[in-house]
Amino acid sequence: MKYSLSDFTLDEKMKLLSGKDFWHLHDLDGKVYSVLCMDGPHGVRRISEPEWEIETGANSVAFPSLCVLGQTFNEELAGEMGEALADECIDEGVDILLAPGCNIHRSPLCGRNFEYFSEDPYLSGVFAREYIKGLQSKGVGACLKHYCLNNSEMGRVWTSSEADERTMREIYLEAFRIATEADPLSVMSSYNLVNGVRMSENKTLYNLLRGEFWREDGVIFSDWAAVQDEVASVKAGLDIKMPHQSYEVLRRAYDEGKITEKEIDECAKRVLLLIEKCENNLAKRGKTSPKHERYKAAEKIAREGIVLLKNNGVLPLKGDADILITGIKPDLYVSGGGSSNLTPDYTPKTLDVAISEAAPELLIEKADGSQWSTTYYRAYEGGCGKDAVIVLVNAEETEDGDKGSMRLSRESELLILENAKRCNNTIVVVRAGCAVDMSAWEKKVGAIVYAGFGGAMGNEALAAILMGIESPSGRLTATFAHTYEDYPVSRAYRTHAVNSYSEGLSVGYRYFDEHPECVLFPFGHGLSYADFEYSNIQISGKGEIYTVSFEIKNTSGIDAKEVSQVYVREINPHVIRPYKELKAFKKLLLRGGECVKVKIQLTKRDFAYYSLSEGAWVTKPGEFEILIGRSAHDIKLAGRVTI
């Protein structure tokens, strides 16, 4: 240890327990290394407002949102994004990236779902883990967030998320447990309360995190301005209160005997270790990748994260097609709002330009439907006589607020419907951060592409998919039900101060497996331009390790990536359990006509549930089914195993 507590006065140790300014930790006037933290999960934020005390004119690469990254179902891309973001951080002198978030998509109205991976804890945890590994492998620290049960933005600072322990363990903490396998440099506690205790002073959940999942000396940050009681926070083991100083409060509390030096030392020693790790990281840093490599990574992720939900055959577009591109402000750069927002350092290509570059012979007309009105369209006749119409529609999503509805704006829906009247090959491209209510129009259109918030390279990626340069391979990481009322969260008890997770384990497909009639597009759904056949499942093993193998054949003539999902189901559980749960997934490139054998290993823990009576994860002896699916509702193979 370079820094030991005995080297510092009590006042200095108190100063270490909060920020020096909005983004820096305290450096005690140069006595310790000055650590710079910065947002955000899909790009290094440019802070150009001088009042935020830092000018980073960063040329930030705007990567796709974490939800789009999750939709790739390709965990290697999470590592690649982490590495590319590390390079962005190194260029800007950032020591800790305030990312990734791994909160669960509990409600489709949550304003921050775009910053999170999925409704499923396993998928969320794996992607957060691989992202952290990539980021930290290049000498930049992660700050896994927001711990925990921060699944709504409305009233986030004063609302208590109320959940029973099994629900917490199996759904909301499980993603953090898996993610901490990557040993993040830090964790950020969330704004909300959990079962009545504020997360910036929740000793019980800090002890669970440090004692069961992570490390005793792991540093916990507050969320920015989340701390309501500095003394209670320090006593609970919250190490760093951001963004600003709380020295005076701690000094006074100490003088009044409300806090001891020992309690301050508990936090100060973890902060000194973190500062030392950040300093040591500098030596770990190698040459950063060139900018264009990072843009390539961003485009690759955006491409693989695009989900083709419906296709009447209009896609991929023919090279000589005559198309109309329209939308409400179709050229608008679309991303989620709040602390993760970025101003890309280069003006992203519009879709018409990206398509023209991909297919120069294609005829493109563009009409901004923003001033859309029936009169306008009657005059303009919209998509009449076109081979296809692409309607770009956007959902507004932001931190610090939940959506009032899952539906698109009325003008977007009307634009879709009017074009669908004029052209059977109307393709709707949805740029949103999570599930959208499509019930008003999805039956009337020829194709639906869920592009998510694709970042600065989003339109290049979209053009590649629309033109068939690459087959779509993305899959939904959250269930798209018909309407908000189909989700159990819509019936959960909620007041100004309490958010009751009364649906328990019934989140996402864990609920919809029993209610398929509510589902428009299931978890894991995504079409390809190729066709695949699954066969020959074999299950072997006993005791701790089980091997599942099966074959996939690409029966089409085109190369394409395919995602297989592996679910586990207990046949006759003696406790309430979801019908099935995702325990593995695999994405493979299959050449046209190619057949591959997939081998997946499961452990005994993959069959377990959290037993309240035993206070542990247990796998009871019994018969289980292993299901191989293209989605939660498209199961291709099944086999049984006795544990």
Query: Distance of CA 273 to CAs 33, 138, 247, 280, 479, Å?
Result: 11, 19, 20, 10, 42
DSSP bridge partners of 18: 241
Check if the beta carbon of residue 216 is closer than 8 Å to that of residue 202.
no
Residue 53 vs 623, nearer CB to ligand GLC: 53
Q: How far is the C-alpha of 590 from the C-alpha of 596, rounded, in Å?
A: 8
Q: Could you count the other beta carbons within 10 Å of the beta carbon of residue 545? A: 11
Query: Distance of CA 138 to CAs 34, 83, 88, 133, Å?
Result: 19, 6, 11, 9
Tell me the closest approach of the beta carbon of residue 194 to ligand GLC, in angstroms.
16
Tell me the closest approach of the beta carbon of residue 453 to ligand GLC, in angstroms.
16
Parallel, antiparallel or unpaired: strands 160-162 and 193-194: parallel
Q: Considering the rule CB under 6 A, would residue 339 count as an interface residue with ligand GLC?
A: yes
Give the residue numbers annotated as catalytic, written as ranges: 223
Q: Site map for ligand GLC, 92-131, x if CB under 6 A? A: ------x---------------------------------
Q: How far is the C-alpha of 537 from the C-alpha of 626, rounded, in Å?
A: 10
Written as one letter, the residue type at 265 is: D
Q: Considering the rule CB under 6 A, would residue 39 count as an interface residue with ligand GLC?
A: yes
- Annotate 232-254 with DSSP letters as a single string: HHHHHT--BB-SS--HHHHHHHH
* Strand ranges (E), 519-622: 519-521, 532-542, 545-554, 560-570, 581-590, 595-603, 609-611, 616-618
Q: Considering the rule CB under 6 A, would residue 437 count as an interface residue with ligand GLC?
A: no
Tell me the closest approach of the beta carbon of residue 612 to ligand GLC, in angstroms.
31
Q: How far is the C-alpha of 123 from the C-alpha of 498, rounded, in Å?
A: 28
Tell me the closest approach of the beta carbon of residue 52 to ligand GLC, in angstroms.
10
Tell me the closest approach of the beta carbon of residue 430 to ligand GLC, in angstroms.
25
Eight-state DSSP code of residue 150: -
Tell me the closest approach of the beta carbon of residue 281 to ligand GLC, in angstroms.
19
Check if the beta carbon of residue 326 is closer than 8 Å to that of residue 393.
no
Q: Considering the rule CB under 6 A, would residue 153 count as an interface residue with ligand GLC?
A: no
The SS3 assignment for 192 reads coil
Residue 116 vs 254, nearer CB to ligand GLC: 116
Eight-state DSSP code of residue 317: P
Residue 150 vs 506, nearer CB to ligand GLC: 150
Torsion over CA: 419, 421, 425, 427 (sign): positive
Residue 243 vs 629, nearer CB to ligand GLC: 243
Tell me the closest approach of the beta carbon of residue 486 to ligand GLC, in angstroms.
29
Residue 274 vs 462, nearer CB to ligand GLC: 274
Tell me the closest approach of the beta carbon of residue 143 to ligand GLC, in angstroms.
7
Q: Please name the residue ranges forming H helices in 487-554.
A: 509-512
Closest CA to 101 of 149, 48, 34: 149
Q: Could you count the other beta carbons within 10 Å of the beta carbon of residue 372? A: 21
Parallel, antiparallel or unpaired: strands 426-431 and 545-554: unpaired
Residue 145 vs 303, nearer CB to ligand GLC: 145
Closest CA to 340 of 50, 25, 19, 60: 60
Residue 184 vs 382, nearer CB to ligand GLC: 184
Q: Site map for ligand GLC, 282-321, x if CB under 6 A? A: ----------------------------------------
* Angle of the 247-255 helix axis to the 261-284 helix axis, nearest 10: 150
The residue from 145, 277, 475, 587 that contacts ligand GLC (CB under 6 A) is 145
Tell me the closest approach of the beta carbon of residue 105 to ligand GLC, in angstroms.
16
Check if the beta carbon of residue 45 is closer than 8 Å to that of residue 59.
no
Q: Considering the rule CB under 6 A, would residue 224 count as an interface residue with ligand GLC?
A: yes
Tell me the closest approach of the beta carbon of residue 92 to ligand GLC, in angstroms.
15
Q: Site map for ligand GLC, 180-219, x if CB under 6 A? A: ----------------------------------------
Q: Considering the rule CB under 6 A, would residue 223 count as an interface residue with ligand GLC?
A: yes
* Contacts of residue 231, Cβ cutoff 8 Å, sequence gap at least 6: 249, 250, 253, 258, 259
Residue 337 vs 468, nearer CB to ligand GLC: 337
Residue positions counted in the chain: 643
Q: Considering the rule CB under 6 A, would residue 402 count as an interface residue with ligand GLC?
A: no
Q: Considering the rule CB under 6 A, would residue 418 count as an interface residue with ligand GLC?
A: no
Cα 130 vs. chain centroid, distance in angstroms? 12
Phi first, then psi: give them for residue 521, nearest 5 degrees.
-130, 120
Residue 170 vs 223, nearer CB to ligand GLC: 223
Q: Considering the rule CB under 6 A, would residue 46 count as an interface residue with ligand GLC?
A: no
Q: Could you count the other beta carbons within 10 Å of the beta carbon of residue 93? A: 13
Residue 66 vs 637, nearer CB to ligand GLC: 66
- Give the footprint of ligand GLC on this chain (CB under 6 A): 39, 98, 145, 223-224, 339
